[in-house]
Protein backbone atom coordinates (compact mmCIF):
# COMPACT_ATOMS: atom_id res chain seq x y z
CA UNK A 1 0.00 0.00 0.00
CA UNK A 2 1.39 3.42 -0.98
CA UNK A 3 0.62 6.73 0.71
CA UNK A 4 0.49 9.47 -1.94
CA UNK A 5 -0.05 12.86 -0.27
CA UNK A 6 -3.15 12.45 1.91
CA UNK A 7 -4.62 9.59 -0.14
CA UNK A 8 -3.83 5.91 0.07
CA UNK A 9 -3.23 4.05 -3.21
CA UNK A 10 -4.51 0.47 -3.05
CA UNK A 11 -3.51 -0.47 -6.65
CA UNK A 12 -0.27 -2.35 -5.81
CA UNK A 13 -2.13 -4.26 -3.10
CA UNK A 14 -4.98 -5.17 -5.49
CA UNK A 15 -2.42 -6.34 -8.13
CA UNK A 16 -0.58 -8.38 -5.52
CA UNK A 17 -3.69 -10.30 -4.57
CA UNK A 18 -4.94 -10.91 -8.14
CA UNK A 19 -4.49 -14.45 -9.43
CA UNK A 20 -2.70 -15.08 -12.74
CA UNK A 21 -6.04 -16.01 -14.26
CA UNK A 22 -7.58 -12.68 -13.19
CA UNK A 23 -4.60 -10.81 -14.58
CA UNK A 24 -4.93 -12.65 -17.88
CA UNK A 25 -8.63 -11.69 -18.10
CA UNK A 26 -7.79 -8.05 -17.38
CA UNK A 27 -4.98 -8.17 -19.95
CA UNK A 28 -7.25 -9.67 -22.63
CA UNK A 29 -9.88 -6.98 -21.90
CA UNK A 30 -7.25 -4.28 -22.56
CA UNK A 31 -6.33 -5.95 -25.86
CA UNK A 32 -9.97 -6.31 -26.88
CA UNK A 33 -10.54 -2.60 -26.10
CA UNK A 34 -7.71 -1.72 -28.48
CA UNK A 35 -5.44 -0.44 -25.70
CA UNK A 36 -1.68 -0.53 -26.29
CA UNK A 37 0.46 -2.58 -23.92
CA UNK A 38 3.57 -0.76 -22.67
CA UNK A 39 6.87 -2.34 -21.50
CA UNK A 40 6.41 -2.13 -17.72
CA UNK A 41 2.84 -3.42 -17.66
CA UNK A 42 2.03 -6.96 -16.62
CA UNK A 43 1.78 -9.33 -19.60
CA UNK A 44 1.41 -13.11 -19.97
CA UNK A 45 4.78 -14.82 -20.36
CA UNK A 46 3.81 -16.19 -23.77
CA UNK A 47 2.82 -12.72 -25.00
CA UNK A 48 6.36 -11.60 -24.14
CA UNK A 49 7.89 -14.69 -25.80
CA UNK A 50 5.81 -14.34 -28.97
CA UNK A 51 6.82 -10.69 -29.26
CA UNK A 52 10.52 -11.39 -28.72
CA UNK A 53 10.33 -14.15 -31.35
CA UNK A 54 8.59 -12.00 -33.93
CA UNK A 55 10.38 -8.69 -33.32
CA UNK A 56 13.82 -10.31 -33.27
CA UNK A 57 13.12 -12.28 -36.47
CA UNK A 58 12.01 -9.01 -37.99
CA UNK A 59 15.15 -7.16 -36.79
CA UNK A 60 17.42 -9.92 -38.14
CA UNK A 61 15.57 -9.75 -41.47
CA UNK A 62 16.32 -6.04 -41.79
CA UNK A 63 20.02 -6.64 -41.11
CA UNK A 64 20.45 -9.73 -43.30
CA UNK A 65 18.30 -7.99 -45.94
CA UNK A 66 21.05 -5.41 -46.42
CA UNK A 67 23.35 -8.07 -47.91
CA UNK A 68 21.68 -8.83 -51.28
CA UNK A 69 21.22 -5.11 -51.99
CA UNK A 70 24.54 -3.87 -50.56
CA UNK A 71 26.10 -6.14 -53.17
CA UNK A 72 24.80 -3.77 -55.90
CA UNK A 73 25.71 -0.33 -54.50
CA UNK A 74 29.00 -0.09 -56.42
CA UNK A 75 27.43 -1.59 -59.55
CA UNK A 76 24.26 0.54 -59.72
CA UNK A 77 24.05 2.02 -63.25
CA UNK A 78 24.23 5.76 -62.38
CA UNK A 79 25.27 8.10 -59.57
CA UNK A 80 21.60 8.78 -58.80
CA UNK A 81 20.84 5.05 -58.53
CA UNK A 82 23.91 4.51 -56.31
CA UNK A 83 22.89 7.34 -53.95
CA UNK A 84 19.30 6.09 -53.72
CA UNK A 85 20.36 2.48 -53.10
CA UNK A 86 22.92 3.54 -50.50
CA UNK A 87 20.24 5.54 -48.65
CA UNK A 88 17.84 2.60 -48.82
CA UNK A 89 20.36 0.13 -47.42
CA UNK A 90 21.18 2.59 -44.61
CA UNK A 91 17.43 2.84 -43.83
CA UNK A 92 17.31 -0.95 -43.43
CA UNK A 93 20.12 -0.78 -40.84
CA UNK A 94 18.08 1.87 -39.01
CA UNK A 95 15.02 -0.39 -39.06
CA UNK A 96 17.11 -3.16 -37.50
CA UNK A 97 18.16 -0.75 -34.73
CA UNK A 98 14.60 0.37 -33.90
CA UNK A 99 13.49 -3.25 -33.83
CA UNK A 100 16.33 -4.50 -31.61
CA UNK A 101 15.49 -1.60 -29.26
CA UNK A 102 11.81 -2.59 -29.26
CA UNK A 103 12.80 -6.19 -28.44
CA UNK A 104 15.05 -4.96 -25.60
CA UNK A 105 12.03 -3.35 -23.89
CA UNK A 106 10.84 -6.93 -23.31
CA UNK A 107 13.86 -7.80 -21.18
CA UNK A 108 16.29 -9.38 -23.63
CA UNK A 109 19.57 -7.74 -24.57
CA UNK A 110 20.86 -7.09 -28.04
CA UNK A 111 23.97 -9.28 -27.73
CA UNK A 112 21.81 -12.30 -26.90
CA UNK A 113 19.65 -11.60 -29.95
CA UNK A 114 22.72 -11.17 -32.16
CA UNK A 115 24.19 -14.43 -30.85
CA UNK A 116 20.93 -16.21 -31.69
CA UNK A 117 21.22 -14.99 -35.28
CA UNK A 118 24.92 -15.81 -35.63
CA UNK A 119 24.58 -19.33 -34.23
CA UNK A 120 21.65 -20.05 -36.56
CA UNK A 121 19.13 -20.41 -33.68
CA UNK A 122 17.02 -17.47 -34.81
CA UNK A 123 15.11 -17.21 -38.06
CA UNK A 124 15.13 -14.29 -40.48
CA UNK A 125 12.92 -13.83 -43.51
CA UNK A 126 13.10 -16.56 -46.15
CA UNK A 127 13.19 -13.93 -48.89
CA UNK A 128 16.76 -12.86 -48.13
CA UNK A 129 18.17 -16.28 -49.04
CA UNK A 130 17.91 -15.60 -52.78
CA UNK A 131 20.72 -14.13 -54.91
CA UNK A 132 20.57 -10.77 -56.73
CA UNK A 133 21.74 -11.78 -60.20
CA UNK A 134 21.01 -8.61 -62.20
CA UNK A 135 20.27 -4.92 -61.65
CA UNK A 136 16.57 -5.69 -62.19
CA UNK A 137 16.67 -7.80 -59.01
CA UNK A 138 17.19 -4.56 -57.06
CA UNK A 139 14.01 -3.24 -58.69
CA UNK A 140 12.20 -6.48 -57.86
CA UNK A 141 13.27 -6.34 -54.20
CA UNK A 142 12.01 -2.77 -53.78
CA UNK A 143 8.78 -3.41 -55.68
CA UNK A 144 7.88 -6.92 -54.47
CA UNK A 145 9.78 -7.58 -51.23
CA UNK A 146 9.33 -4.12 -49.75
CA UNK A 147 5.80 -4.05 -51.20
CA UNK A 148 4.96 -7.26 -49.30
CA UNK A 149 6.73 -5.90 -46.20
CA UNK A 150 4.61 -2.70 -46.28
CA UNK A 151 1.34 -4.60 -46.49
CA UNK A 152 2.46 -6.81 -43.58
CA UNK A 153 3.81 -3.92 -41.52
CA UNK A 154 0.92 -1.46 -41.92
CA UNK A 155 -1.09 -4.29 -40.36
CA UNK A 156 1.52 -4.71 -37.58
CA UNK A 157 1.39 -0.94 -36.92
CA UNK A 158 -2.13 -1.55 -35.56
CA UNK A 159 -0.78 -4.23 -33.20
CA UNK A 160 -1.09 -4.22 -29.42
CA UNK A 161 2.50 -3.74 -28.24
CA UNK A 162 3.28 0.00 -28.08
CA UNK A 163 7.02 0.06 -28.93
CA UNK A 164 6.65 -2.40 -31.85
CA UNK A 165 3.59 -0.75 -33.35
CA UNK A 166 5.16 2.72 -33.12
CA UNK A 167 8.38 1.48 -34.77
CA UNK A 168 6.21 0.16 -37.61
CA UNK A 169 4.74 3.59 -38.34
CA UNK A 170 8.12 5.11 -39.13
CA UNK A 171 9.41 2.00 -40.88
CA UNK A 172 6.39 1.91 -43.18
CA UNK A 173 6.97 5.51 -44.27
CA UNK A 174 10.52 4.64 -45.27
CA UNK A 175 9.43 1.37 -46.87
CA UNK A 176 7.03 3.33 -49.10
CA UNK A 177 9.99 5.19 -50.55
CA UNK A 178 11.84 1.89 -51.02
CA UNK A 179 8.85 0.40 -52.76
CA UNK A 180 8.52 3.31 -55.19
CA UNK A 181 12.21 3.31 -56.08
CA UNK A 182 11.96 -0.42 -56.84
CA UNK A 183 8.88 -0.03 -58.99
CA UNK A 184 10.49 2.88 -60.83
CA UNK A 185 13.53 0.71 -61.68
CA UNK A 186 11.26 -2.08 -62.94
CA UNK A 187 8.99 0.28 -64.88
CA UNK A 188 11.94 1.92 -66.65
CA UNK A 189 13.50 -1.43 -67.57
CA UNK A 190 10.17 -2.85 -68.69
CA UNK A 191 9.73 0.13 -71.00
CA UNK A 192 13.33 0.22 -72.21
CA UNK A 193 15.12 -1.94 -74.79
CA UNK A 194 14.08 -5.53 -75.48
CA UNK A 195 17.06 -6.79 -73.40
CA UNK A 196 16.08 -4.53 -70.48
CA UNK A 197 12.48 -5.70 -70.64
CA UNK A 198 13.66 -9.32 -70.54
CA UNK A 199 15.86 -8.56 -67.56
CA UNK A 200 12.88 -7.09 -65.68
CA UNK A 201 10.65 -10.04 -66.60
CA UNK A 202 13.34 -12.53 -65.53
CA UNK A 203 13.64 -10.81 -62.13
CA UNK A 204 9.86 -10.86 -61.69
CA UNK A 205 9.81 -14.56 -62.62
CA UNK A 206 12.35 -15.38 -59.91
CA UNK A 207 11.07 -13.08 -57.11
CA UNK A 208 7.28 -13.51 -57.44
CA UNK A 209 6.99 -16.94 -55.76
CA UNK A 210 9.36 -16.18 -52.84
CA UNK A 211 7.54 -12.83 -52.28
CA UNK A 212 4.21 -14.62 -52.01
CA UNK A 213 5.78 -17.11 -49.58
CA UNK A 214 7.50 -14.51 -47.39
CA UNK A 215 4.15 -13.45 -45.91
CA UNK A 216 4.14 -16.70 -43.95
CA UNK A 217 2.51 -20.14 -44.27
CA UNK A 218 -1.16 -20.45 -45.15
CA UNK A 219 -3.56 -19.80 -42.27
CA UNK A 220 -4.23 -23.54 -41.91
CA UNK A 221 -0.51 -24.18 -41.37
CA UNK A 222 0.30 -21.08 -39.29
CA UNK A 223 1.17 -22.45 -35.85
CA UNK A 224 1.55 -19.12 -34.06
CA UNK A 225 -1.53 -17.33 -35.41
CA UNK A 226 -3.92 -18.46 -32.68
CA UNK A 227 -1.80 -16.68 -30.04
CA UNK A 228 -0.46 -13.80 -32.13
CA UNK A 229 -3.99 -12.94 -33.28
CA UNK A 230 -5.70 -13.47 -29.92
CA UNK A 231 -3.33 -10.85 -28.51
CA UNK A 232 -3.50 -8.55 -31.55
CA UNK A 233 0.21 -8.87 -32.19
CA UNK A 234 -0.96 -9.61 -35.73
CA UNK A 235 -4.35 -8.05 -36.42
CA UNK A 236 -4.86 -9.90 -39.73
CA UNK A 237 -3.97 -13.41 -40.83
CA UNK A 238 -1.16 -14.38 -43.24
CA UNK A 239 -3.62 -15.22 -46.06
CA UNK A 240 -5.54 -11.93 -45.71
CA UNK A 241 -2.32 -9.94 -45.92
CA UNK A 242 -1.08 -12.06 -48.84
CA UNK A 243 -4.31 -11.43 -50.78
CA UNK A 244 -3.97 -7.66 -50.23
CA UNK A 245 -0.41 -7.79 -51.56
CA UNK A 246 -1.53 -9.74 -54.65
CA UNK A 247 -4.46 -7.38 -55.34
CA UNK A 248 -2.23 -4.36 -55.14
CA UNK A 249 0.71 -5.81 -57.12
CA UNK A 250 -0.95 -7.48 -60.13
CA UNK A 251 -2.32 -4.18 -61.56
CA UNK A 252 1.14 -2.64 -61.10
CA UNK A 253 2.68 -5.45 -63.17
CA UNK A 254 0.06 -4.94 -65.87
CA UNK A 255 0.72 -1.17 -65.88
CA UNK A 256 4.45 -1.81 -66.37
CA UNK A 257 3.79 -4.29 -69.20
CA UNK A 258 5.13 -7.27 -67.23
CA UNK A 259 3.58 -10.71 -66.84
CA UNK A 260 3.01 -12.32 -63.43
CA UNK A 261 4.57 -15.81 -63.76
CA UNK A 262 1.45 -17.76 -62.80
CA UNK A 263 -0.64 -19.48 -65.52
CA UNK A 264 -3.56 -19.84 -63.07
CA UNK A 265 -3.75 -16.13 -62.22
CA UNK A 266 -7.27 -14.78 -62.81
CA UNK A 267 -9.52 -11.98 -61.64
CA UNK A 268 -12.67 -13.03 -59.84
CA UNK A 269 -15.41 -10.51 -60.70
CA UNK A 270 -17.59 -11.63 -57.82
CA UNK A 271 -15.03 -11.39 -55.01
CA UNK A 272 -13.11 -8.59 -56.76
CA UNK A 273 -9.83 -10.34 -55.95
CA UNK A 274 -7.00 -11.74 -58.05
CA UNK A 275 -6.70 -15.51 -57.57
CA UNK A 276 -3.33 -17.25 -57.84
CA UNK A 277 -2.33 -20.85 -58.52
CA UNK A 278 -0.82 -23.19 -55.88
CA UNK A 279 1.99 -21.75 -53.76
CA UNK A 280 5.19 -23.82 -53.57
CA UNK A 281 5.22 -24.42 -49.82
CA UNK A 282 7.90 -27.11 -50.19
CA UNK A 283 10.27 -24.42 -51.38
CA UNK A 284 9.30 -22.16 -48.44
CA UNK A 285 9.97 -24.85 -45.82
CA UNK A 286 13.21 -25.88 -47.53
CA UNK A 287 14.46 -22.28 -47.33
CA UNK A 288 13.44 -21.64 -43.71
CA UNK A 289 15.13 -24.90 -42.70
CA UNK A 290 18.42 -23.53 -44.06
CA UNK A 291 18.51 -25.03 -47.57
CA UNK A 292 17.80 -22.00 -49.76
CA UNK A 293 20.29 -20.84 -52.41
CA UNK A 294 22.10 -18.35 -50.12
CA UNK A 295 21.40 -19.40 -46.47
CA UNK A 296 25.00 -20.45 -45.81
CA UNK A 297 26.47 -17.36 -47.44
CA UNK A 298 24.16 -14.96 -45.58
CA UNK A 299 25.08 -16.46 -42.23
CA UNK A 300 28.81 -16.61 -42.91
CA UNK A 301 28.77 -12.99 -44.16
CA UNK A 302 27.09 -11.87 -40.90
CA UNK A 303 29.55 -13.93 -38.81
CA UNK A 304 32.48 -12.36 -40.66
CA UNK A 305 31.05 -8.84 -40.22
CA UNK A 306 30.64 -9.46 -36.48
CA UNK A 307 34.27 -10.56 -36.17
CA UNK A 308 35.66 -7.74 -38.32
CA UNK A 309 33.63 -5.15 -36.39
CA UNK A 310 34.89 -6.30 -32.99
CA UNK A 311 37.60 -3.62 -32.72
CA UNK A 312 35.08 -0.89 -33.63
CA UNK A 313 32.74 -1.99 -30.82
CA UNK A 314 35.65 -2.20 -28.36
CA UNK A 315 36.84 1.29 -29.35
CA UNK A 316 33.30 2.71 -29.03
CA UNK A 317 32.90 1.21 -25.53
CA UNK A 318 36.33 2.48 -24.42
CA UNK A 319 35.47 5.96 -25.73
CA UNK A 320 32.08 5.96 -23.96
CA UNK A 321 33.74 4.91 -20.69
CA UNK A 322 36.31 7.70 -21.04
CA UNK A 323 33.57 10.27 -21.70
CA UNK A 324 31.58 9.02 -18.68
CA UNK A 325 34.62 9.37 -16.41
CA UNK A 326 35.20 12.90 -17.70
CA UNK A 327 31.55 13.89 -17.11
CA UNK A 328 31.60 12.36 -13.62
CA UNK A 329 34.77 14.22 -12.64
CA UNK A 330 33.26 17.53 -13.90
CA UNK A 331 30.07 16.83 -11.90
CA UNK A 332 32.04 15.93 -8.71
N1 LIG B 1 10.71 -16.50 -43.32
C2 LIG B 1 11.18 -17.25 -42.31
N3 LIG B 1 10.37 -17.81 -41.40
C4 LIG B 1 9.05 -17.60 -41.52
C5 LIG B 1 8.50 -16.81 -42.54
C6 LIG B 1 9.39 -16.26 -43.48
N7 LIG B 1 9.00 -15.52 -44.50
N8 LIG B 1 7.16 -16.79 -42.40
C9 LIG B 1 6.88 -17.54 -41.33
N10 LIG B 1 8.01 -18.03 -40.81
C11 LIG B 1 8.16 -18.92 -39.68
C12 LIG B 1 7.63 -18.31 -38.41
O13 LIG B 1 8.60 -17.49 -37.84
C14 LIG B 1 7.29 -19.53 -37.61
O15 LIG B 1 8.47 -20.12 -37.10
P16 LIG B 1 8.84 -20.10 -35.51
O17 LIG B 1 7.61 -20.56 -34.78
O18 LIG B 1 10.00 -21.03 -35.40
O19 LIG B 1 9.20 -18.70 -35.15
C20 LIG B 1 6.78 -20.48 -38.66
O21 LIG B 1 7.33 -20.05 -39.89
C22 LIG B 1 5.29 -20.53 -38.76
O23 LIG B 1 4.76 -19.24 -39.14
P24 LIG B 1 3.51 -18.56 -38.41
O25 LIG B 1 2.99 -19.48 -37.37
O26 LIG B 1 2.55 -18.08 -39.44
O27 LIG B 1 4.23 -17.34 -37.68
P28 LIG B 1 3.71 -15.87 -37.35
O29 LIG B 1 2.35 -15.90 -36.70
O30 LIG B 1 4.79 -15.22 -36.60
O31 LIG B 1 3.51 -15.15 -38.79
C32 LIG B 1 4.84 -13.57 -40.08
C33 LIG B 1 4.60 -15.05 -39.69
C34 LIG B 1 3.61 -13.06 -40.81
C35 LIG B 1 6.07 -13.49 -40.97
C36 LIG B 1 5.04 -12.74 -38.77
O37 LIG B 1 6.05 -13.35 -37.98
C38 LIG B 1 5.40 -11.32 -38.99
O39 LIG B 1 4.57 -10.51 -39.35
N40 LIG B 1 6.68 -10.97 -38.67
C41 LIG B 1 7.16 -9.62 -38.66
C42 LIG B 1 7.52 -9.10 -40.01
C43 LIG B 1 8.81 -9.67 -40.54
O44 LIG B 1 9.56 -10.37 -39.88
N45 LIG B 1 9.12 -9.36 -41.80
C46 LIG B 1 10.34 -9.85 -42.41
C47 LIG B 1 10.61 -9.14 -43.68
S48 LIG B 1 11.08 -7.51 -43.31
C49 LIG B 1 11.70 -6.87 -44.76
O50 LIG B 1 11.32 -7.19 -45.79
C51 LIG B 1 12.77 -5.87 -44.60
Average pLDDT of the chain to the nearest whole number: 95
Nearest CA to ligand 1 atom 36: 54
pLDDT score of 13 more than 60: no
Please identify, by atom number, the ligand 1 atom nearest to the C-alpha of residue 57: 44
The answer to whether residue 244 sits within a structural domain is yes
The answer to whether residue 289 sits within a structural domain is yes
pTM for this model (two decimals) = 0.92
CATH of the domain at 95: 1.20.1260.10
The answer to whether residue 53 sits within a structural domain is yes
The answer to whether residue 311 sits within a structural domain is no
C-beta of residue 214 within 8 angstroms of C-beta of residue 146: no
pLDDT, residue 4, reads: 45
Distance from Cα 26 to the centre of ligand 1, integer Å: 28
3-state secondary structure of 8: strand
Q: CA-CA distance, 303 to 297, in Å (whole number)? A: 10
Measure the CA angle with vertex 233, ends 63 and 24; round to 5°.
Answer: 135
Tell whether ligand 1 has an atom less than 6 A from the beta carbon of residue 223: yes
Tell whether ligand 1 has an atom less than 6 A from the beta carbon of residue 58: yes
Nearest CA to ligand 1 atom 38: 54
- Mean pLDDT, residues 188-194 taken together: 98
pLDDT, residue 12, reads: 56
pLDDT, residue 331, reads: 85
Total domains, the chain: 1
Tell whether ligand 1 has an atom less than 6 A from the beta carbon of residue 286: no
Nearest one of 200, 86, 197 to 144, comparing CA atoms? 200
For the stretch 265-277, pLDDT in tens is: 999 999 999 999 9
Distance from Cα 127 to the centre of ligand 1, integer Å: 11
Q: 332 falls in which pLDDT band (50, 70, 90)?
A: confident
For the stretch 43-57, pLDDT in tens is: 999 999 999 999 999
Q: CA-CA distance, 126 to 286, in Å (whole number)? A: 9
Q: At what angle do helices 110-118 and 79-104 cross, to 10 degrees?
A: 120
- Mean pLDDT, residues 166-186 taken together: 96
Percent with pLDDT over 70 in the chain: 95
Per-residue HEC secondary structure of 129-189 comes to HCCCCCHHHHHHHHHHHHHHHHHHHHHHCCCCEHHHHHHHHHHHHHHHHHHHHHHHHHHHH
Q: 18 falls in which pLDDT band (50, 70, 90)?
A: confident
pLDDT score of 2 more than 60: no
C-beta of residue 214 within 8 angstroms of C-beta of residue 126: yes
pLDDT score of 158 more than 50: yes
Q: 11 falls in which pLDDT band (50, 70, 90)?
A: low
Please identify, by atom number, the ligand 1 atom nearest to the C-alpha of residue 153: 42
The answer to whether residue 82 sits within a structural domain is yes
Residue of 69, 117, 216 with the most ligand 1 atoms within 8 Å of its CB, for mutation: 216
Burial class (CB within 10 angstroms; exposed 0-12, middle 13-18, buried 19+) of 69: buried
Tell whether ligand 1 has an atom less than 6 A from the beta carbon of residue 230: no
pLDDT score of 7 more than 60: no
Q: 156 falls in which pLDDT band (50, 70, 90)?
A: very high
Q: CA-CA distance, 113 to 100, in Å (whole number)? A: 8
The answer to whether residue 4 sits within a structural domain is no
Distance from Cα 90 to the centre of ligand 1, integer Å: 23
Tell whether ligand 1 has an atom less than 6 A from the beta carbon of residue 53: yes
Please identify, by atom number, the ligand 1 atom nearest to the C-alpha of residue 53: 19
**18-22, 87-91, 104-108, 119-123 — which is least confidently predicted?**
18-22
Q: How many residues does the chain have?
A: 332
Distance from Cα 11 to the centre of ligand 1, integer Å: 38
3-state secondary structure of 10: coil
Tell whether ligand 1 has an atom less than 6 A from the beta carbon of residue 68: no
pLDDT, residue 17, reads: 78
Give the domain range for residue 217: 20-293
pLDDT score of 122 more than 50: yes
Distance from Cα 125 to the centre of ligand 1, integer Å: 7
The answer to whether residue 223 sits within a structural domain is yes
Tell whether ligand 1 has an atom less than 6 A from the beta carbon of residue 62: yes
Q: At what angle do helices 295-308 and 310-331 cross, to 10 degrees?
A: 40
Tell whether ligand 1 has an atom less than 6 A from the beta carbon of residue 102: no
Cβ atoms within 10 Å, residue 168: 24
Nearest CA to ligand 1 atom 28: 224
For the stretch 210-263, pLDDT in tens is: 999 999 999 999 999 999 999 999 999 999 999 999 999 999 999 999 999 999
Residue of 215, 224, 281 with the most ligand 1 atoms within 8 Å of its CB, for mutation: 224
- Mean pLDDT, residues 160-181 taken together: 96
What backbone torsions phi and psi does residue 115 show, to the nearest 5 degrees? -60, -40
The answer to whether residue 322 sits within a structural domain is no
- Mean pLDDT, residues 297-321 taken together: 96
Amino acid sequence: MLKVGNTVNFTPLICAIMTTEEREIEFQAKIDNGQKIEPKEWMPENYRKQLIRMISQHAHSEIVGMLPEGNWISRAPSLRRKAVLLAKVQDEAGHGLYLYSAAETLGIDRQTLTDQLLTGKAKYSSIFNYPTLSWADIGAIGWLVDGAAIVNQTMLARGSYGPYSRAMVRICKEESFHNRQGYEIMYELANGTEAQKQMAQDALNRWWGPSIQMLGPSDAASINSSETMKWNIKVESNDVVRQRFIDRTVPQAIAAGLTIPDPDLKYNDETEHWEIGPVDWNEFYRVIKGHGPCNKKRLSDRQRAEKEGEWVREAAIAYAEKQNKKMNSIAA
